[in-house]
Amino acid sequence: MTESQNIEINLDVVKEGLKLWIDARKGGTLFDAERSAAEYNEARFQLREGCFYDY
């Protein structure tokens, strides 16, 4: 997993041009598991429980 401070999720499947941005308020709490998510049947984006995020 790659640690990230913010991520952008493309939601074109819902409505063209729609995007969701998530910003972590504290480092080390937001991750992109692009490489391993499918292999382990997990969600690509991982948020740490009990932490705060801006959407």
Confidence (pLDDT) at 45: 95
**3-class DSSP state for residue 33?**
coil
Tokens representing residue 47 in the block: 């948020």
Residue 31: how many CB atoms within 10 A of its CB?
18
CA torsion sign for 7, 13, 17, 18 is negative
Task: Quote the distance between the C-alpha of residue 7 and its chain's center.
Answer: 5
Domain extent listing, the chain: 2-50
Over residues 1-41, the pLDDT tens digits come to: 899 999 999 999 999 999 999 999 999 999 999 989 999 99
